[in-house]
Amino acid sequence: MFRVLLIGLLIVLCTQTAVNAHVMSLDRATLNFRDGAAYMVLSLAPSSFGGIKFDDNDNGAISFAEFQAHQMQVQQAFVQHVKLNDEKGPLVLGGLFVNFEPAHPPWLEQPSILVLGKFAMRQGLMPTDWSIGLWAHEVKNNNAVTASVIFQAKDGTVLEQESLVFTPSENSQKLFKKDNHVKAGYIQFGILLLFLIPSLWFFYYKKVKPLWVTGPKLKKRLH
Question: Looking at the structure, do residues 130 and 67 belong to the same domain, yes or no?
Answer: yes
Question: Looking at the structure, do residues 104 and 171 belong to the same domain, yes or no?
Answer: yes
Question: Looking at the structure, do residues 221 and 111 belong to the same domain, yes or no?
Answer: no
Residue 17: predicted pLDDT: 38
Residue 207: predicted pLDDT: 57
Amino acid at 138: E
The tens digit of pLDDT for each residue in 22-34 reads: 467 889 999 999 9
Amino acid at 6: L
Residue 216: predicted pLDDT: 55
Provide mean pLDDT across the span 61-74.
Answer: 94
pLDDT top residue among 196 and 115: 115
DSSP 104: B
Q: How far apart are CA 97 and CA 113, in angstroms?
A: 11
As for how many domains the chain has, the answer is: 2
Q: How far apart are CA 110 and CA 44, in angstroms?
A: 10
Q: How far apart are CA 118 and CA 33, in angstroms?
A: 10
Going by pLDDT thresholds of 50, 70 and 90, the confidence category of residue 155 is confident
Q: Are the beta carbons of 40 and 145 closer than 8 angstroms?
A: no
Helices (H), the chain: 2-14, 64-69, 71-81, 177-203, 209-222
Identify which of 130, 106, 103 has the alpha carbon closest to the alpha carbon of residue 45.
Answer: 103
Question: Looking at the structure, do residues 181 and 167 belong to the same domain, yes or no?
Answer: no
Going by pLDDT thresholds of 50, 70 and 90, the confidence category of residue 90 is very high
- Domain limits at 213? 177-223
